[in-house]
Structure 1
C-alpha cells in the first residue's frame, strides 16, 4: 500500500527534459472568467490544454492581488516542470495540480497552501530541490511541498517499510502544519474522481488504501463532505457490481418515496414556522456506502433499510435547537433510544448536532439532525472552517483545539515508537471513528475509541498516570483494568509510584498512545533481558546452520547497515522482543559470508535442530507464561516470539497455542524448563462440590495444608442449586506438587471432582 504515492493516473514519460526558466506556456489561460457552481468541481480541461480560469475566479473572492500574483507564479513554475507529462486519460498533467488547488480554494485556504497544492508533485516527479522552492516561493511553501513528497532516495528493507515511513513523514509534517493533510486529501479526492482509467487491480489497491487511511483521517478532522465522497468513490471501485446494483435500487426508491419526503418537508416547515422558529429544512440521502454498511452490519435487505433519507434542520441559535427538537417530537412520535445529544457532548472531531429518529407518515422511521449555522459549517468543513470563516466562533476554536491535541498526540507516539510500521499501526487505531465519552472524578469529559479500557483512559490523561496505574474505580465501584468503558462512566485511576506497565495490557488497550507508551516502557526498562534473550536465540540459529558465533567486525558493520539497526545490542533486542526473527537474521549473515541469499527460504531440515531455550520463570517480562494455560515446571512447553512482546511460553497441549501456531509457525521455538527453579507458579483448578455448609472452608484448609497459596476464588452454581463449581487460582512449585495437592483436595468430604483448568 503506497500511502503517499504521486498521482496514480500519471502515464509513462520520456526522459526528463533540461529545465529552462519558467514562463507562461502558450495556450494556457491564466485569466479569470467564470466560476464553477460545483463546490468541489474539477478544473476546466480542454483537449491538450488546462486552464486556471475557475481557480483564479475562486481565489479572487477572498485573496488580494499580491497573493494572486504569487499563486500565478507557482502555477507557471509547476506548468513548466510538468511540461510534456500527460495523465492516463490523455489530459495534460498540470490539470491535476490545478484540480487539487481548486478543492483547496473551496475551503478558502491561504495563498501558501494554494501554491503548495500547485507545486505538490514537482519535488517527487521532477527532482526539484527543496532549496530551490525556498528561494523561489519561501520556506513555508517549501515545507508544505516537502511534507507532501514521499521519500525516494532512501533504501528500505521492504515495500511495507517504505510505505509506512512515507506515511509517517506525511503525518508528522501534518502535526506541525495541518494544511499538509488538507492538500493531501484534496490530492487523493481528485485522484479518486479520475480513477476509472486505471486497471482494475490498481483501482482496488488505491480504493482500499483510501478507505483504510484517508477516509478515517477526513472523518477525524471533521471534513464531512470529503469523508462521504471518498467513501462512496472507494466503495464503487472496491465492489463495482454491488455499488451499481445498490445505486439502481436507491434511484428506484427515490421515485417511490418522493411523496413521503415532500409530505414530511412541508409538515416540518409549517410546524416550525408556527412555533416561531426560523429554520432551513432539507432532505439528505444516505450515501450508498452508508446504506451498504448498514445492510452488512445488521444483515438487512435493501427494502428493510427504511431510513435511506434523513432531514437536516438548521436554526439560528443554540436554544432554538432544543425548541425545534420539542416541536418535532410533538409532530411525530420519537423512537425510544434513538436520541443523541452531540451538542452537550460533541464528537471527537468537533461535530455538534441533535440526532433524533421519529416515526413519520406510514410508519417510516425518519432521522433528523438539528444544528445551528455555525455547527453546520463545522460539520461540513471541519478543521478547514478555520480558513472558511475567519471568526471567533467558539465551536470552531474548540474544534481547532481538539484537532491540535490529536496532532500533538501523533508527536508523542512518534517519540515512543520503534519504527514506522509500528507508528502506522498506532495511528490507525486512533483513527477508529466510533467514540465513548467518560468522566473524570472532577467531571471533565474524556473522549476515547469505543472498546477503550481504564488503561487507555489513564494514558489519555498523562503517560505517567498510565505507567503507574494499579487499579480503577468505575462509578465508585472497583473494576478490572480490562473493563470496556461505557458512555457516562465516571473513572477514577489509582496509582502507585512503584507500579510499572504490564505486557498483558497490550492485549486489551485500544488507543495508539497507550499501546506506544507501554511498548516503549517494555523496550527501555527490560532492554538488558531482551538483549540477552536475543543474543542466545541468534547464537542458536547460527549454530544450527554451522555459522561460527564470532562474526568479523566488517561483517557486523555490513549487517547493521543492511538491517537498519544502530548497534548489535539493538539487533539483539529486536530479536529478543520478537521484532526480528533469529532464523532470518542468521540466514542473512550466512548470505553475507558467501552462502545462500538472505532471502532464500529457510529449510526445516537444517544440519542440526535448534537447542531449546531454557526457562527459569524469573526472566522478567521478556519471557512471559501464557495466561491461557499457565504452564508450570514439569509441563511440556513451547515458546512463541510475539512482535514487541518477547517470548511467551505455553503448554504443549494448549488449544490457544495450537491455533496461533497454525497462523505463524515460524514464530515458534523449542523451550525447556531449567533444573534449578526457586519460585512458585500460578495454576488453576476447578472443583465440582455439593452445596454444603462449610465446604469452602474445608477445601481452603486442605489447600493450605498441601502447601498451596490461594490467589483467587470463584463460584458458579447450577440451576437447581444442588451442585456448585468452585474455581481456584493457586501457587504451586511444579507439576508434582500440583498433582499431590489435587489428590488431597479430592479426599475432602463434599468434593465430587477436581480437575486442572486449561484453555
Structure 2
C-alpha cells in the first residue's frame, strides 16, 4: 500500500502548494475508519481508497478530490457520518464524499424503470460537482482491475454495468483512455474466449510482421524531421475490445481488419497540425472517407484532433491522430483537464471546456422526457453516439450524432421548425427525410404551416431531443382528438336520457370520478378509458337504469342449445340475429356461435361431431350484439362528432373506438357498435354512408377473413 508521504509526493509533483497536512489527516482518518476491514483479495480494505487517490494524482486533480478519494467509502462502510466528515474536513469535501456514496448506492443494473430513475439521480449528482463522478469512475476502474477476486456472478454484474454505463460515460466526458480500459476489462469478464483469441492473433501477427509499430513510428519521425516539424510520435496496437467491436460491426474476421494500429503525432503550434497532415498524406496514400477534422469542428467535450487513415508500410492501414500538446492534455484527461493543477495553480488550457455546460444541456433535454423509457432512450443516444457536423444554408454548424437524419437536423434548430418539416434538401438535392447525414453536408429544411409531426417520424429520428418533441406533439394531438370525440360521445349519451352535457354537468362528473378538469374526463371518454354511459349513470343513476323492453334474454337468444349451455359469439365473424348461424362445440367449454359463411368453418370440416345446428330466437332482440365497423373519414373538424350522432340516432351504442391509421387528410378507425340484429346493423351502415365525409364504411372482420355483403365504399378523393 502506498504510504501517506509517497502519496503527498505524487500530489506535490504537480501541485507544490498542496495542503500536505490535510492529506495526512484524511489518510489517518480513513485508515482508522477502515481498520480491520479486508478486501476479498486478503489485503486491508484501505488499500483501495489509497489506490483510487493515487490514480487521481495522474490526472493532476486538486486536494479536495484527492481527500475525497481517501474518504469515499467511509460513510457507506464505516461508522463515520456526514456530520463528522464536515466537522473535520469542511462542507466541500463532505458534500463530495456524500455524492460518491449516493452514486455507489445506485443499483444501475436493476429494472429498466428503476434504472431510468437512477440515471436521473446520477446526472443530478454530477451537476452539483463533477469531481464526484471523477472519483466514482476512478473507483470503478480500480475495482475492475481487481475484479478477479469477486464472486463469479458479481463479476458478470459489475462488468455489464461498467460496459453499459461507466465506460460510455467516461468516453462522453472525454476520458477516452479510461473508456477503453474499462471496456477491455469488462470484455475480459464477459467474453474471455474472444479476448484471448484476439490476443493470440496479435501474437501471430507480430511474429510474422516483426515490430510494425516501431518501424512505422520511425518512418513518421523521419518524414517529420525532413519537414523540420518538432513532434513526438507514439504508436500502439488497438485494444482487444476495440478490435472485437469492429469485427462485429463490419461482420468480418480478424484477418480482414486493416487498421489495427494507431499512431499519435503531438506537435507544438496549431499550424503544425496541418503541416504534419500534409507530410503524412504526401508520404502515404490516404484512405477515402476516413478523414475527420476535430480541430476546426471540436467535439462538445473539448476534444480536438485531426484523424486520418493511410496505407502505410506493406499496404497496412494505420490510423494517425495529430494534435498539439494542449489538445493532447484535453484528449487524455477529458473533463479532468478542467481541474488540472500545475505549479500549485489551476492549469490554463484554452481547449478545456467547462463540462458543466454539457451536463446542463443533457439535463435540459432529459427533463423534456415524459416517461422512463423515453428518458433512457435519450441517455443512451446522448452517451453512445459519435458526432457529425452539418451546415445550415447560412453556414452555421449543427452538431448531430452519427446516423442523424434531416428530422434531427430540423429539431436541433428549433422545435417549431421540426414540427413543420415537409421535405429536406442536402447539398441542394431533395432527399427523403430518413436519409442519414454525413460530415460537411449542407442541409435545408422545407416547412409548411399546416404540417404536423407524423407517427413514422419516431422511427426516423435518432436524437433524444427530436424523439421527445415528436412524442409530445403526437400526444397533444391525440389528446385534442380524444377530447373532441369524448364531447360528442358524452353529448349523445346524455341525450339518450333526455339531458344535456353542460360544462357544469361534466365538471361535476369529473370531480366525482377523481379527475381535476372536465377536459380530463372528455379525454378519458374519447380514449375509451371511461364509457360515456357510465358517466351518465354516475350523475343520473335513476335514469340510467332503463327497464328492459320485451327483448329476448341473452340465455334464450339461441334455439338448438341446452338451456344451461354457455355460448359465445365468435369474434372472427361477430354473427347477429337475422344471419344464419352454426355452433361449434368446444368439448366441455361451451359453444362458439359462427356465421354460416365464416371462413373459419373450413377448419372444422373434418370434425362433424362438433357441429350444432342453431338458429336465432324469433322476436325482438336487445341491442347488445357488438359489431366492428371499419371507416375511412375525412380529417376535418366535426366529422367524427357527426358520425357519432348519426349512430346514436339509429339507437345504436358505441362501445369502443380505435384509430388504426392517421394521415394528414384522412383517418382510418374501428368502431364497435352494439346492434339488435342484421337489419339494425344495415341501418347503421347506411346512415354512416350518407355522410359525405365518410369515404368508406364496411363491416370489419379479423385479418384473413372475407368481407360480408354489408359494405359501402366510395372512391377516396
Q: 2:203 aligns with which of 251, 260, 267?
A: 251
Match of 1:519 in 2: 471
Q: Distance in 2 between matches of 1:494 and 1:79?
A: 65
The change in CA–CA distance for 1:528 and 1:80 in structure 2 (over 3 A counts) is: farther
In the TM superposition, what is the alpha-carbon distance from 1:139 to its structure 2 partner?
Answer: 3.1
Match of 1:78 in 2: 30
After TM superposition, the structure 1 = structure 2 runs for residues 120-199 of structure 1, keeping only pairs within 5 Å, are 120-126=72-78, 130-150=82-102, 159-199=111-151
The change in CA–CA distance for 1:362 and 1:483 in structure 2 (over 3 A counts) is: closer
CA contact 1:219–1:433 (8 Å) conserved in 2: no
In the TM superposition, what is the alpha-carbon distance from 1:287 to its structure 2 partner?
Answer: 0.8
- State which drifts further: 146-155 or 403-412: 146-155
The change in CA–CA distance for 1:146 and 1:492 in structure 2 (over 3 A counts) is: farther
SS at structure 1 position matched to 2:439: coil
SS at structure 2 position matched to 1:395: coil
Q: Distance in 2 between matches of 1:256 and 1:318?
A: 38
CA contact 2:265–2:320 (8 Å) conserved in 1: yes
The change in CA–CA distance for 1:201 and 1:327 in structure 2 (over 3 A counts) is: same
After TM superposition, the structure 1 = structure 2 runs for residues 319-718 of structure 1, keeping only pairs within 5 Å, are 319-388=271-340, 390-397=346-353, 400=354, 403-467=355-419, 469=421, 471-494=423-446, 501-523=453-475, 649=660, 672=672
Match of 1:297 in 2: 249
CA contact 1:312–1:368 (8 Å) conserved in 2: yes
Q: Distance in 2 between matches of 1:265 and 1:107?
A: 27
In the TM superposition, what is the alpha-carbon distance from 1:337 to its structure 2 partner?
Answer: 3.7
Alignment deviations for residues 450-498 of structure 1 (CA, whole Å, 9 cap, x no partner): 1212332233334454455555443345544443322222223455677
The change in CA–CA distance for 1:262 and 1:128 in structure 2 (over 3 A counts) is: closer
Q: Distance in 2 between matches of 1:573 and 1:123?
A: 49
Q: Distance in 1 between matches of 2:4 and 2:125?
A: 28
In the TM superposition, what is the alpha-carbon distance from 1:63 to its structure 2 partner?
Answer: 4.1
The change in CA–CA distance for 1:272 and 1:201 in structure 2 (over 3 A counts) is: same
Match of 1:279 in 2: 231
CA contact 1:413–1:517 (8 Å) conserved in 2: no
Match of 1:58 in 2: 10
Q: 2:180 aligns with which of 210, 224, 228?
A: 228
Q: Distance in 2 between matches of 1:138 and 1:522?
A: 50
In the TM superposition, what is the alpha-carbon distance from 1:69 to its structure 2 partner?
Answer: 2.7
In the TM superposition, what is the alpha-carbon distance from 1:238 to its structure 2 partner?
Answer: 0.8
SS at structure 2 position matched to 1:736: strand
Q: Distance in 2 between matches of 1:447 and 1:298?
A: 25
SS at structure 2 position matched to 1:89: coil
1:115 aligns with 2:67: yes
In the TM superposition, what is the alpha-carbon distance from 1:568 to its structure 2 partner?
Answer: 14
The change in CA–CA distance for 1:613 and 1:226 in structure 2 (over 3 A counts) is: farther
Q: 1:737 aligns with which of 706, 709, 713?
A: 713
The change in CA–CA distance for 1:417 and 1:255 in structure 2 (over 3 A counts) is: same
Match of 2:261 in 1: 309
- State which drifts further: 163-172 or 67-76: 67-76
Q: Distance in 1 between matches of 2:186 and 2:454?
A: 40
Match of 2:158 in 1: 206
SS at structure 1 position matched to 2:384: coil
Match of 1:537 in 2: none
Q: What number of residue pairs does the alignment pair up? A: 548
CA contact 2:72–2:97 (8 Å) conserved in 1: yes
CA contact 1:615–1:671 (8 Å) conserved in 2: yes
Q: Distance in 1 between matches of 2:347 and 2:359?
A: 22
Q: TM-score of the superposition, structure 1-length normalised?
A: 0.62
In the TM superposition, what is the alpha-carbon distance from 1:132 to its structure 2 partner?
Answer: 4.6
Q: Distance in 1 between matches of 2:235 and 2:527?
A: 55
In the TM superposition, what is the alpha-carbon distance from 1:428 to its structure 2 partner?
Answer: 0.8
CA contact 1:168–1:424 (8 Å) conserved in 2: no
Q: Distance in 1 between matches of 2:160 and 2:106?
A: 26
Q: Distance in 1 between matches of 2:426 and 2:283?
A: 40
Q: Distance in 2 between matches of 1:474 and 1:374?
A: 36
Alignment deviations for residues 604-625 of structure 1 (CA, whole Å, 9 cap, x no partner): x9xx9x999999889999xxxx
Larger radius of gyration: 2
Q: Distance in 1 between matches of 2:11 and 2:72?
A: 18
In the TM superposition, what is the alpha-carbon distance from 1:189 to its structure 2 partner?
Answer: 0.8
In the TM superposition, what is the alpha-carbon distance from 1:151 to its structure 2 partner?
Answer: 8.1
SS at structure 1 position matched to 2:25: helix
In the TM superposition, what is the alpha-carbon distance from 1:129 to its structure 2 partner?
Answer: 5.1
Q: Distance in 1 between matches of 2:105 and 2:238?
A: 44
In the TM superposition, what is the alpha-carbon distance from 1:420 to its structure 2 partner?
Answer: 4.5
In the TM superposition, what is the alpha-carbon distance from 1:288 to its structure 2 partner?
Answer: 0.9
CA contact 2:292–2:307 (8 Å) conserved in 1: yes
Q: Distance in 2 between matches of 1:77 and 1:612?
A: 77
Alignment deviations for residues 556-595 of structure 1 (CA, whole Å, 9 cap, x no partner): xxxx9xxxx99999999999999x9xxxxxxxxxxxxxxx
Q: Distance in 1 between matches of 2:525 and 2:93?
A: 42
Q: Distance in 2 between matches of 1:190 and 1:577?
A: 53
Q: 1:242 aligns with which of 188, 191, 194?
A: 194
The change in CA–CA distance for 1:571 and 1:408 in structure 2 (over 3 A counts) is: farther
Alignment deviations for residues 165-215 of structure 1 (CA, whole Å, 9 cap, x no partner): 222211122134322221221121111111112233332222122111222
CA contact 2:633–2:695 (8 Å) conserved in 1: no
Q: Distance in 1 between matches of 2:28 and 2:526?
A: 55
- State which drifts further: 451-460 or 124-133: 124-133
SS at structure 2 position matched to 1:183: helix
The change in CA–CA distance for 1:58 and 1:615 in structure 2 (over 3 A counts) is: farther
